[in-house]
Amino acid sequence: EAQVTQNPRYLITVTGKKLTVTCSQNMNHEYMSWYRQDPGLGLRQIYYSMNVEVTDKGDVPEGYKVSRKEKRNFPLILESPSPNQTSLYFCASSYRQGDTEAFFGQGTRLTVV
């Protein structure tokens, strides 16, 4: 089954404790991206990757890092999480840059206390 898989689905952590949210897709997609979703603000792009070893900032990259060492994986790293990073996070992938049909993961609800 074609899918984007995020882990974990739910996470509660403390301020400053490094964490990684994993994202994996099995569709051989080139383009992957991370979004955060907040009430009243909709979905905002954090980082995106056009292919292996090619990443760039989205609209709200501060406090986040990403890597793309393999085509299928695109982890989101929070080196020192803060409460303002409490949010619902989505990973998405599409065949290539500019492809309109993006496939989204189920989401990761992160709470930083």
Partner 1 sequence: GESVGLHLPTLSVQEGDNSIINCAYSNSASDYFIWYKQESGKGPQFIIDIRSNMDKRQGQRVTVLLNKTVKHLSLQIAATQPGDSAVYFCAEGSNYKLTFGKGTLLTVNP
**Distance of alpha carbon 58 from alpha carbon 77, whole angstroms:** 15
DSSP 79: S
CB of 90 to partner 1, least distance (A): 5
- CB-based contact 74:89 (threshold 8 Å): no
- CB-based contact 16:33 (threshold 8 Å): no
Q: Is 104 in the site for partner 1 (CB under 8 A)?
A: yes
If the CB atoms of residues 48 and 64 are measured against partner 1, the closer one turns out to be 48
Beta pairing, strands 108-112 & 10-13? parallel
Which one among 1, 10, 42, 69 touches partner 1, defined by CB under 8 A?
42
The position carrying tokens 């409490």 is 86
Contact segment (CB under 8 A) with partner 1 among 13-21, 64-72, 75-83, 98-106 equals 98-106
If the CB atoms of residues 59 and 70 are measured against partner 1, the closer one turns out to be 59
- Give the interface with partner 1 as residue ranges (CB under 8 A): 4, 31, 33, 35, 40-45, 48, 50, 56, 58-59, 90, 92, 97-98, 100-107
